[in-house]
Structure formats: structure tokens, C-alpha cells
Amino acid sequence: MTWLPIVNRELLVNARRSRTYWLRVGAAGAALIICAWICLLASRQQPPATVGPTLFVYLTVLAFSYCLLVGPFFTADCLSEEKRDGTLGLLFLTDLHSYDVVLGKWVAASLAGFHGLLAMLPALGLPLLLGGVTPGEYGRVALAIVNAMLFSLTAGIFVSLLSREQAKATLAAAILTLGLTGLLPGLALVLTTRFFTHAMTGAPLLALLSPAFTGYLAMDASFRVSPGTYWLSLKLVHGLGWLFLLITVLVVPRVWRDHPAEKPTTSRWFWRLGYTNRWRRVFRRRLERNPVAALAARLRWPHYVFWTLVALVAINVYWLTIGYRLAPASSQFHVYFSTTLVFTNRVWVTVMACRFWIELRRTGTLELILTTPVPVRTMLRGHRRALTILFAGPVVVIGALHVFYVIGSWWLNGGLRNTNLIPPGYLLASAGGSFISFITDVVAICWMGTWFSVSCRRATLAIFLTFAWVVLLPWTLSYVLPGLSSLPPAFWNFAMRHPWLQALLPTSAVTHALVHPTAWVLKNLTFTLWARHQLHHHFRTAAAQVEAPPHRGPRWWKRGRTPMPDARTLTLVTNSGRLSLPAGDQT
């Protein structure tokens, strides 16, 4: 018998998939673009001795972002999909052991991610040729990056063991990975400093469980101070990854028998919180007005998750306003906490924007809805109303927290007695730009998530594409590529030569505070309008997975797109191929 037969089979299947190779080419291409940008453009304003370390830092940030953000999307649904389809139990009817099943599914889901990482590691070594980076520093950072990838992939399969729904599994895997990376060390710092009222002495123990903190300790400046702390953090993160995998192997023979219909509802008291008589009456009224809105907003647990994230945002705003004055040494932990919180909020919004249509497609309800005379605008309006019910309250509270930041920072800097240190207009522009960027992010994610969840066949791909296009790719272009973030201020300074613009924005600090939010809002507006156009014109075509013969005219820029079906023929995409039907046989 072949050792680990499922691993052998899944490796052969993945070797035939084009995604395995395209992901590797994309990861290597992104690393090479960053290298070319820094070496050819951004290095003109830097001394030659700093080009190598600068390039190394940005490539390290890109690699850690790839490992921690992409990893959960690969493995979060590998076991939960089998449980939904009822095929996980069939594997245990054979001679296979639990480690055969778990390792086979994990290797199959993780292979593409590791291929992309292996394509990035050689590019990470290019700063060695430029100088300023030692071989030991490169080796330590490479170990931390591989360790972070192992950690995120094992965390994803561990969450997949405990979940049945794809949206919950993806969200929980992202929260677990990002939470252990930044949120948990940040909360530990808040408690150890007693809400920033005492000085920080050393690194909190929970911070050593963070893969990002391991990468920070791998740098020469931190490694020389405490080399043992780096190795301890590396071992703890590595052991935590293997612990996730071991628990999955031991528990999966007992979990596959669980079925939602067999569990007593009395034991799931947490999920019944909020299902009061008042809520039932509200649900009936929504069902009469718009069934899509009622069904999309019927769950109560998403509200608890979002309000928990709002509480973490409140801690973050408190640190920005008061905490950093009391504990300046905790600034590095706040960077991890703040960045992780931003990505966690966006992942949560992305999952909830895609969840409704993904579940309809999985259960086959979407095809039934398409047969009804309900207009597309009514369905989209109902889904939009359900997302408004979910997001409106937390967004208003986040806006109030931004007001608290402006008033608190202005008051602590002297208020009316000292307006020269930090202008009030700068604080107002910074907080207002951040809040407007967040609102437009939510709107763009909702529209893009709706379109991708309707048009994509794979649920994980829909969530990943929405998050990548709206959040991950723009963030990479804005913060990872040095020199690119200075292009908008350059165009802004050119435009400010006109007198009427100077009258509108007379303060230079205010203008620079508004540059990046303006570019971010324009990006979100572009995505929103594009997705809205696609949904209003191609909703039924994309939902039914219908294709038409491509246009053969001179419009070469539209080649490869999916046009509307022709009135004479209809091409249905099936598992066995394509079937073309005449207009009279479309039944």
C-alpha cells in the first residue's frame, strides 16, 4: 500500500492545475516589481548604503502579509467542505487513518501557497548583493516567514475541523491567524501596562506567539540585544502550528459524525441570544416587504462579532489619543495591533458581503430564485438593506470614536492655548479622511463581494478576490512600494499652484492629510460603479453560469470577457462540457 495515498493523489491532481503555477509566477513577479521599483526609482533619493536594508524590509513585509493573509483562504474550507457534502465519513470506511485524511487534505490545499512562498524567497535574497543585509539576518527572516506560512495553514485546517459553513470557517481562520499575530499581543500589552498607565518592561509572553513579532526579532538590531528571545518565539510559533495539526488528526474521527439536525438545540444557547419575540415580529415584517432582505439579515451572531471588533477599535482609538503618551515603548506593539485590526475588520466585512449569495449557490436556492419573476433590482435592494442593518450601527459608533480622537487629541495638545503644535484642521482632516475611507471601503466591499459571490463558482475564490482587489492590492501599492505613495502629493502640489485651490485648502498639513484618503475614496468609487454595472446588467447571466459565443469583431480589448447571451443560442456550462441550445429549446 502506498504511504499517505491521499497525499500522493492530491499532489498529482494539483500538479495538473494551472493555478499552482500561476500563483507561483504572480508571487515572484510581485517581488521582482518591488525590487525593480526600489532599485531604479525609489533609490535615487537614498544613499546607496540604505538601498539594501530598505529593499529587505519591504520584501519581508510583503512575504509576511502573503503568509498571514493568504494562508487561511487555502485551508479554511478543506474539511468543512467534505462535512457539508457528507463525503468525509466515506473516507473512514476504507483502511485510511485519520492522519492520512488530514495530511492529504492539508497538503492538497497548502501546495499552491508554499509554491508562491518558494518563488518569493530567492527575491528576498537580492538585498544580500546590494549590501547592508547579513546572511544570518536573511536566514533568520526566511525561517520566520516559512514558520508563519506553516502557522497560518495549520490554523486554517484546525478551524475547518470545527466548522461546517464556508463563510464561518474562512472568517474564523482569519480571526485566529490575525488575532494571534497582532490582536492578542496588543491586548496582552494593554493589560500588562494597565491600560497604558505603567511602563512596559520587556516583551509580553503572549507576544512570543506572534509570527510577526518573530520576524521583528529576526532583524539584526533586535537579535543582537536578545538572541534567545528570537529562537524561543520561533519554537513557540512552530510548536503551535504542529499543535493545531495534531489536534485536527486526533479529533477528526469524532467530528465527522456530527450533523446539525442531530444536535439538540437546547445546548446551543449562545446562538439563540437575540432571538426574542420582538425580533420575530420584525422578521415577519421584513419577510412581507422583501424576502431577500429578511433572509439575508436573519442571523444574530454576526452582530456580536462586529460589536466585538468595534470594542477593539475603541481600544485602538484610546491608544492613539491617550495611551502612547503614557507608554511610548509600546509603539511597536501598537503597529501590529492597529494593522491587524484594520485587516480583521475588512476580512469580516468581506465574508459577510459574500456569505448570502455563496450559501444560496451551495444549497441550490439561487437557481430557484432565478426561475421566479422577482426583478434583479429587488434582490439587490434586499441584500443591500440586509447589509445596512448589519453594518449601520457599528459604523456610526466608529464615526463617534473618530470624533473622540479629534477632540481628545486637540484637548491634550493644549486646545485653544496651543494651536501651533498640531493644527485642529489637520486632526479633523486626518480623522475625517480615515472615517470616509472606512465607509467607502465597506460600500466597495459589499458591491464587489456581491458580484464575485454571484459570478464565481468557488466560494473561497470569491472571498479572496474581493479582499484582494479592494483591500490587499491597494494597500500593497500604497505602503509596500516606496516612492509610489509620494506620487499623489506631487500631483497635489502641482495642482495647488492655482489660487482657487489654495483658497479652499490653505494649510499644507491639511492637504497632505487629505491626499491619501482622496485617492482611496476614488479607488472605492471606481470599484463600486464597476460592480454595480456588472450586477445590474449581467446578474442572471453570471448566476446561471451562462456563456455566449465571444464577439468576433474588431473589439480586441473585450476578448475573453463574458457577454450577454445571444437571442438565438444559449450555451450552458456543464461538468462534462458546453451545450448549445437553440432559442426554442431553452427549457
One-letter amino acid at 421 equals L
Other residues' Cβ atoms within 10 Å of the Cβ of residue 186: 27
Residue 350 lies in a domain: no
Beta strands 569-573 and 578-582 are antiparallel
Diameter over CA atoms, the chain: 81
Q: What is the pLDDT of residue 287?
A: 81
CB-based contact 515:492 (threshold 8 Å): yes
Q: Tell me the pLDDT tens digit for each residue of 397-442.
A: 888 887 787 777 777 666 555 555 566 667 777 778 888 888 999 9
Q: What is the pLDDT of residue 572?
A: 45
| 297 against 505, higher pLDDT | 297
Region 328-341: what's the mean pLDDT? 69
CB-based contact 60:124 (threshold 8 Å): yes
In terms of average pLDDT, the best of 16-25, 179-188, 370-379, 531-540 is 531-540
- Note down the domain range covering 165: 14-258
Compute the half-sphere exposure of residue 237: CA atoms within 13 Å on the CB side of its CA. 31
Residues 6+ apart with CB under 8 A from 550: 559, 560, 561, 563
Instruction: Pick the closest to residue 160 from 75, 67, 86 (CA basis).
Output: 75
Q: What is the pLDDT of residue 195?
A: 61
Place of cell 470545527: 162
One-letter amino acid at 506 equals P
Residue 522 lies in a domain: no
Q: What is the pLDDT of residue 570?
A: 42
Q: Tell me the pLDDT tens digit for each residue of 259-294.
A: 554 444 444 444 455 566 777 788 888 888 888 888
Region 557-585: what's the mean pLDDT? 44
Q: What is the pLDDT of residue 525?
A: 95
pLDDT at 233 over 50: yes
What is the C-alpha separation between 414 and 21, in angstroms, rounded?
Answer: 58
In this structure, what are the phi and psi dihedrals at residue 269, rounded to the nearest 5 degrees?
-70, -30
Q: Mind giving me the DSSP string for 301-349?
A: HHHHHHHHHHHHHHHHHHIIIIIHHH-GGGHHHHHHHHHHHHHHHHHHH
Residue 127 lies in a domain: yes
Region 7-11: what's the mean pLDDT? 74
CB-based contact 189:333 (threshold 8 Å): yes
Instruction: Pick the closest to residue 51 from 483, 487, 485 (CA basis).
Output: 483
Q: In the structure, what pLDDT confidence band is assigned to residue 222 with cuts at 50, 70 and 90?
A: confident
Q: What is the pLDDT of residue 103?
A: 86
Residue 411 lies in a domain: no
Region 143-158: what's the mean pLDDT? 93
Q: How many residues does the chain have?
A: 587
Region 517-540: what's the mean pLDDT? 92
Question: Which triple of cell numbers denotes residue 233?
Answer: 518565539
- Classify residue 319 by burial, with Cβ atoms within 10 Å: 0-12, 13-18, 19+: buried
Q: Tell me the pLDDT tens digit for each residue of 13-72.
A: 777 777 777 878 888 887 888 788 777 766 666 677 788 888 898 889 888 988 887 777
Question: Which triple of cell numbers denotes residue 162?
Answer: 470545527
Question: Which triple of cell numbers denotes residue 93?
Answer: 470506511
Place of cell 486554517: 156
pLDDT at 586 over 50: no
DSSP collapsed to 3 states, 206-238:
HHHHCHHHHHHHHCHHHHHHCHHHHHHHHHHHH
Q: What is the pLDDT of residue 522?
A: 92
Question: Which triple of cell numbers denotes residue 317?
Answer: 482609538
Residue 203 lies in a domain: yes
Q: What is the pLDDT of residue 329?
A: 61
CB-based contact 206:336 (threshold 8 Å): no
Residues 6+ apart with CB under 8 A from 66: 27, 116, 117, 120
What is the C-alpha separation between 37 and 325, in angstroms, rounded?
Answer: 37
Distances (CA, A) of 481 to 39, 45, 188, 237: 11, 14, 31, 28
Other residues' Cβ atoms within 10 Å of the Cβ of residue 106: 25
Place of cell 487555502: 74
Residues 6+ apart with CB under 8 A from 567: 583
Helix axes 78-85, 227-255, angle to 10 degrees: 10
Residue 459 lies in a domain: no
CB-based contact 405:321 (threshold 8 Å): yes
Q: What is the pLDDT of residue 264?
A: 45
CB-based contact 332:371 (threshold 8 Å): no
Place of cell 436573519: 298
pLDDT at 454 over 60: yes
What is the C-alpha separation between 142 and 145, in angstroms, rounded?
Answer: 5
Q: What is the pLDDT of residue 566?
A: 43
pTM recorded for the entire structure: 0.73
pLDDT above 70 as % of the chain: 74
Q: What is the chain's mean pLDDT, rounded?
A: 77
CB-based contact 290:282 (threshold 8 Å): no
In this structure, what are the phi and psi dihedrals at residue 571, rounded to the nearest 5 degrees?
-105, 115
* Domain count for the chain: 1
Q: What is the pLDDT of residue 348?
A: 83
Q: Tell me the pLDDT tens digit for each residue of 455-514.
A: 887 777 888 889 889 988 888 777 655 555 545 555 555 555 555 555 554 445 566 667
Q: What is the pLDDT of residue 580?
A: 44
pLDDT at 574 over 50: no
What is the C-alpha separation between 176 and 72, in angstroms, rounded?
Answer: 9
Residue 515 lies in a domain: no
Q: What angle do CA 194, 317, 329 make, to 5 degrees?
A: 50
Region 519-535: what's the mean pLDDT? 93
Q: What is the pLDDT of residue 148?
A: 93
Beta strands in 23-140 (DSSP E): none
What is the C-alpha separation between 329 and 377, in angstroms, rounded?
Answer: 53
Residue 490 lies in a domain: no
Region 224-250: what's the mean pLDDT? 92
Q: What is the pLDDT of residue 158?
A: 92
